[in-house]
Amino acid sequence: MDIGAINAGAEIIACVENDPDAAETLRLNNISGHESSVIEDDIRNVDFTDWRDGSDKILIGGPPCQPFSKNGYWVKNDNRLIDEDPRNMLGQFLRAVNELQPNGFLFENVESIRHPTNLPTFERFVSEARGLGYSCTVFRANSADFGVPQKRKRVFVFGVKGAIHAIPEPHQTHSDPSKPDLMNGFDPYVGVGTFIKKFAAEKYSEPQEDASSGTYYHELVHVPAGKNYIALSKLNNYDGRTFRPGGRFWNFLQKLHPDLPSITIAAQPGPWVGPFHWDNRRLRVPEIAAIQTFPDGYKFAGNRRSIQKQIGNAVPCLLGEKMVAHLIENL
């Protein structure tokens, strides 16, 4: 969202980042023009009154999403309770708003923060933000609706200080061409091909991309582009394993199609979780970064696992730009 904010015309004056590799990534790319603006610390240790003055400010952030993730529904211990999960930083976001007193804020999280299990916590968050004097708009976004080559659903909350009415929801710019009745003059979804084909050259190859010796490589080869494991049971003259529909996660053996948006780029994918390249290999770092609409040449610190996590946890830069621009336009 920092990249998106800059592209929307904002100036970054401070970034709070607790992960050492992610903080180093921000410094490597000189995200704000001065390294001292990257505060590598737990947000609970940061006093936001340090930036509280008369100038116009906005606060943007995405508190850790793990407590609200669909994967969390499988956890069966006491920490599954959202209010008891130590990763739940919603209260810290509200504290930052209260201390900074920005003109507006933009909050981001996973779509499943509105799941019935999580909804009371989320609604309390919105209610408390309103109690701090902010009119709030809750918006469920699909990245593909805004020109990102990825179907990635997220929830945003726009907060505007002292507004009489909540601001309108952002207007989408793209739509699914397979549903012509819903196009309404929008541009068609953007396929990944134009974003990642330039990274097909050998110089971009990585050892981790080779899946040929893996358990399900034969099955992967036979999955058509744009499909997942379910397609195997519908193939003619296919001699490999098939799987019961619904018996695997939907992204199992999911393969990209160059003319279609990607599925969500995951932060910590399993070994056979897609998206895979249509050339039957795992994606390369510049490819997953491009699908998240990072600028060409953006540098990432850390090992391969850490880089995947940073990219997968990010808001697509283009989506961030559209959301921050919408907030600024409505202050």
Terminal Cα-to-Cα distance of the chain (whole angstroms): 18
Where does residue 34 rank: exposed (0-12), middle (13-18), buried (19+ CB within 10 A)? exposed
Q: Does residue 65 have an active-site annotation?
A: yes
Is beta strand 134-142 parallel, antiparallel or unpaired with respect to 153-161? Answer: antiparallel
Q: Indicate the SS3 state at residue 183.
A: coil
Cα distance between residue 299 and residue 28, in whole Å: 7
Cα distance between residue 23 and residue 15, in whole Å: 9
Catalytic residue of the set 15, 65, 136, 317: 65
- Each residue of 180-196: b (16+ CB within 10 Å) or e? eeeeeeeeebbbbeebb
Q: Indicate the SS3 state at residue 175.
A: strand
Q: What is the set of active-site residues?
A: 65
